[in-house]
Structure 1
Amino acid sequence: MRKSMNRWMKVITRQVWGAALSLVALSTWAAPRDTLNVGMVQFPPDMHPYITVTSIKDYVLNAARRPMVGYSEKGEVLCVSCTDLPTLANGRAKLVKRADGSDGMEVFFTLKSDLFWGDGKPVSAKDVAFAFEVQKAFTVPPVLEKVEALGSRTVKLVLKAVAYNFDRLCPTPIPEHLEGPIFRAAKDPLDYGQKSLFNRKPEEPGLWMGPYRIAEFKPNERVTLVPNPHWKGNKPHFQKVNMRLVESTSALQANLLSGDIDTVSTGNLGLTLDQHLALAKSQAQRFDWTFIPSVASFEHLAVRLDNKQLSDKRVRQALLMAIDRKTLVAKLFENKFQVAQSFKHPTQLGFDPKVKTYAYDPKAARKLLAEAGYTSAGSDGILVNAAGQRLSIDLVSTAGNRVRELVEQVIQTQLKAIGVEVVINNEPARVMFGETLRKRTFKGLVLYQADHAIDSVPMEFFHSTYIPRAENNFTGTNYSGLNNPEMDKALMEATAALEPAARAAAFKRILAVANEDLPILPLYFPTSALLTPKWMTGMYNPKRWGGVTLWIEDWRAR
């Protein structure tokens, strides 16, 4: 009898425990998901909006700041923080004669009335005007001369030349009530950058005017976002968003599969395309994917033009001719990427199908190197010039990105086949973007992805005023150091062309110079993968173009 009772007790105990565990599992499954963990392989080098320009910083800051304008899926400019988009037709943009007789413009933006900083203070025209003062302390804009506050919400932009992108030039506000005293007391821009609350105390609520604010910041570890209680737009669903650094793509995938993170940042900030393609086959029951071909971002090799060996454009042209980009894209990316013949995508305004291009031709590449003085090779097969200098070039990219490392190995092998040694010295992304690129300390080539707005003139990429140097506090993204008066002139003419046809004509000259001089070696246009767990929606917005955190308030749990 006692044994029978014991058996029944064991059965009942198992049933009770089983029911309890089922209830726990059910409650866990049914519980509202209000925390989102995002993994990323890069981390912002700093948090100030105007000091360095990196994709990962935009990814983070777009959740907590909002620009004046954004883009539709077709590349049309639309208001984000303004009431009306300035046009010549509505009078918010005007062509004016300046005192010196030259042509200029005046452009008027009015802030929406429901924008507030995280400390409850309204975003004002004074914040926009102050943002311009900060912006020009680091890099003097080539066209925008002045921003004046007209009342509490309207600003006037004074342009010293006509610019087709007048509707995109308004600075994103910076809280003058917090940053103004620090900026005015600083000895110089570098001193301000070090003392700015953006870098010293980014958890200050009043720095942020987007749907989220930064609640916790641990350098090179994580950023934690919480809703901005003063945001009047669509209320964010997630009460906490943790953006965590995982410095290798393999570790990032492991974290995703284990459930330590829910999703990954997009493009080159997260998993590589081959990882996404493999996971889409094996993990289709857990995640959804959206693949978006890029027309404005491209992978390339930036060339240090003052490197003695690379200063000869025949060497640069030979390098590009020796890289089999077509096979690289086919083998590594299953033809999901598109070979880039220039920095301009063929579907975009200004692309010239007749521009000079460089097909894969190792024999012609060797001939160009011989013309450049590299006529003999050492015992290791590496070419040398008359002075006995080996044709050896340093290459740096982001460490821990498995596909980039494979691309580097392909480039290294193919260039060795024509007698060029490539020495790979990769660095953590925070070092490469925060120091090596920003201060132009790289010696030869840098492999990375450049991101541009649709229908943009690559002023910051190629104009000589955007070469990072101490005088401009190392801002600008002309990392190659291109200083070509013909390019500068064509860039300014393209910017001044209000009519698309005139802008396209100027772009032909920009493309011609870029593809003749090759300050960058274009490789391919990537495809960006958006990965979302089955329980989540809203990351993909078919009506918008740009970084997905620009509409993070629309992200939801199903």
Structure 2
Amino acid sequence: MLHSTTLHRSALVLLLGTALIAPAFAQSDSITIVVTDEPKSLDPCDTDLSNNARILRNNVTETLVNLDPANGEVVPSLATEWRQVDELTWEFKLREGVTFHDGTPFDAAAVAAALTRAGNADLACEVGLATLSGNVFTPEVVDAQTIRIKTGTVEPILPNKLSTLDIGAPSTPADAKTREPIGTGPYSLAAWNAGQNVQLVSYDGYWGDKPAIANATITWRAESAVRAAMVDTGEAQIAYEIAPQDATSANDHAFPNAETSLLRIDQSIAPLDDKRVREALNLAIDRDGLIGTIFHQDAQKAMQVVLPSVFGYNPDIAVWPYDPDKARSLLEEARAAGTAVDTEIVLYGRIGIYPNSSESMEAIQAMLLDVGFNVRLEMMETTPWLEKLIGPFPADRPPSALQTQIDNTEGDAVFTLPNRFTSGGNTSTIADPALDKLIADASAATGDERQSLFRQAFNYIAVDAINIVPLFHMVTIARVSPDLNYVPDVQAGNEIKLATMSYK
């Protein structure tokens, strides 16, 4: 089998050779952006998955509010103002003079339809299964520019949550997913050429400032070296997720991306139902050895799945040490107690989830084998990996740990914990009533009580129950053409902000 470095070099030589024959340089009215993989969906209700959101969010579709990347504050978008009417009711005033790409006026009825559609269980919308799960949202149209949203239980930060609800046109099918999103954003969908690219074109009727670049193409390549070379040859102007070893150019920009990498433990399946085994998983990993080699040198060791900037983060949880001897001892202790520690555990990884994703899992597999685990690595493309990530899960599944990332650009722990760590969460492999109650109580609380309860929840996950194998708070590298005005921010992993880009 060829070493990955050989593959990188071969791909790079091939791409450069092609470029020498027919170089492709951008025109002032067009831009090409290369990402790691194709979107799973372009439905407005599926933007809780980042590879969908980065194409749609604030390009094709928009939300009622946005979050300021500098400080996480809620700022106007399709809504211009909002207020809490009572404990269970919020009111939003909508922007006037906005139309969808099909000419339909944007109004309160459109918001109500989008919210209702997102909560339709039969559609299995990602935003409904994740951010908006665990509550009932009832829209009430007051007039064309005013909507009230009533909730089944208290939602003290409902505006923050609605920053994840992309509004599609009323013509969007109510009972089926669409591949042709119609939004209010600065760009409309020109084509989704399956397996090749997505093409966007600026919308002449946009309510805001006209984008400086009229045509955008988003394409995908799995290899970091290929993505980087595409910018160097003029085939693309931005390439995301450049691996540290490929970041050799002054045009490479490193930035924190709000993602935390981890292994999700399927702890209901033996031998992972033994806490000692889960602790041994954590102690077996040399995180210091991974930083600056496989992971970026600025990656920070993690103990919980949100960054310190997120409300509810617990500063008192120490990161796991590397202690292979104790890991071996814990496995022997579990074996003596009757736990079948020699059972094969599958490590499920996703190709391209971040740079060096395969190499990172190979290194972790070697570390686990070294302390006595019986582990098998299975790297997958995005679609089969999503089947492992999202429930319901088959009862006869093997014990496993899943490579994943969790992002939180919304600034509050409620955007992370309910979906991923409660019994009803669609990506959760945990069924723990005590944790369910702790997260539910925190989600309904405010102020100091909210912060205290969320901190307790993070401590419970990381220390008391050991539900995860946290790895790193991540750093992303983007290669940007020197001819382009664009500086990636913390939201760049979820949003390709085309309207902010221009040529020098």
**Pair 374,137 (structure 1): closer, same or farther in 2 beyond 3 Å:** farther
User: CA 1:115–1:386 in structure 2 vs 1: closer, same or farther (change >3 Å)?
Assistant: closer
Alignment partner, residue 347 of structure 2: 395
Equivalent of 1:77 in 74, 78, 102: 74
Whether 1:220 and 2:191 are equivalent positions in the alignment is no
Deviations 1:509-547 (A, max 9, x none): 211221132332110001123332111113446xx8565
Q: Counterparts in 2 of 1:227-376, with a 5 A limit?
A: 227-265=202-240, 270-276=241-247, 279-280=248-249, 284=250, 287=251, 289-294=252-257, 296-333=258-295, 335-355=297-317, 357-373=319-335
The 5-angstrom pairing of residues 447-526 of structure 1 reads: 447-452=403-408, 453-457=410-414, 458=416, 459-467=418-426, 477-478=427-428, 481-499=429-447, 501-515=448-462, 516-526=464-474
SS in 2 for 1:503: helix
Work out the CA distance in 1 between the residues paired with 2:425 and 2:339.
35
The structure whose residues are more often helix, as a share, is 1
CA contact (8 A) 2:36 2:222 kept: yes
Check conservation: 1:71, 1:545, Cα contact below 8 A: no
Deviations 1:153-181 (A, max 9, x none): 211010222223122233432222x12xx
Distance in 2 of aligned mates of 1:428 and 1:438: 15
Find the aligned partners of 1:275 and 1:165 in 2 and give their Cα distance.
41
The aligned amino acid for 1:263 is I
One-letter identity of the residue aligned with 2:407: D
Sequence identity percentage: 22
**1:405 Cα deviation (Å)?**
1.5
1:208-236 CA deviation, whole Å, 9 max, x = no partner?
21111110102232110111222121111
**Count of residue correspondences:** 459
- Counterpart residue identity of residue 142, structure 1: G
Instruction: Note closer, same or farther for the CA distance 1:133–1:60 as it changes in structure 2 (3 Å cut).
Output: same
Is 2:63 aligned against 1:67?
A: yes
TM-score under structure 2 length normalisation = 0.84
Are residues 1:531 and 2:479 paired? yes
Normalised TM-score (structure 1): 0.76
Aligned residue in 1 for 2:500: 554
- Aligned 8 A contact 1:250 1:402 in 2: no
Amino acid paired to 1:445 = A
Question: Which residue number in structure 2 is paired with residue 404 of structure 1?
Answer: 357
**What is the one-letter code of the residue matched to 1:429?**
T
Output the CA distance in 2 between the equivalents of 1:274 and 1:349: 34
1:160 counterpart (136, 152, 160): 152
Q: 1:517 to 1:50 in 2, by over 3 A?
A: farther
TM-superposition CA deviations, 1:472-513 (whole Å, max 9, x none): xxxxx32xx1121222212222222221x2111101221122
Q: Within 5 Å, which residues of 2 pair with 1:175-194? A: 175-176=169-170, 178-179=171-172, 182-183=173-174, 186=175, 192-193=176-177
Aligned to 1:471: none
Mark the CA change 1:52 to 1:555 in structure 2 (over 3 Å): closer, same or farther. closer
Give the Cα–Cα distance (whole angstroms) in 1 for the partners of residues 269 and 160 of structure 2. 36
- SS of the residue 2:31 aligns to: strand
Q: Deviations over 1:180-230 (max 9, x none)?
A: xx42xx4xxxxx23xxxx23xx1x6xx121111110102232110111222
**Structure 1 residues 248 and 540: CA distance shift in structure 2, 3 A:** closer
In 2, Cα distance between the equivalents of 1:292 and 1:219?
Answer: 30
Matched residue SS, 2:404: strand
Higher Cα radius of gyration:
1
- The SS at the match of 2:435 is helix
Q: Please tell me the residue identity of whatever aligns with 1:404.
A: S
For structure 2, list consecutive stretches of 5 or more residues without a partner in the other structure. 1-23, 122-128
Runs of 4+ in structure 1 deviating by more than 4 angstroms, as ranges, are 439-443, 544-548
Among residues 109, 116, 120, which one is paired with 2:92 in the alignment?
109
1:167-178 correspondence runs (5 A): 167-170=159-162, 171-176=165-170, 178=171
Matched-pair contact (CA < 8 Å) for 1:163–1:495: yes
Q: CA deviation at 1:275?
A: 2.2
In 2, Cα distance between the equivalents of 1:250 and 1:307? Answer: 39
Q: Would the alpha carbon gap of residues 374 and 271 (structure 1) be closer, same or farther in structure 2, given more than 3 Å must change? A: farther
User: Aligned to 1:213, what secondary structure does the other structure show?
Assistant: strand
Q: Is the 1:116–1:230 contact (alpha carbons within 8 Å) kept by the matching residues of 2?
A: yes
Aligned equivalents of 1:114, 1:549: Cα separation in 2: 25
TM alignment of 1:18-29, pairs within 5 A: none
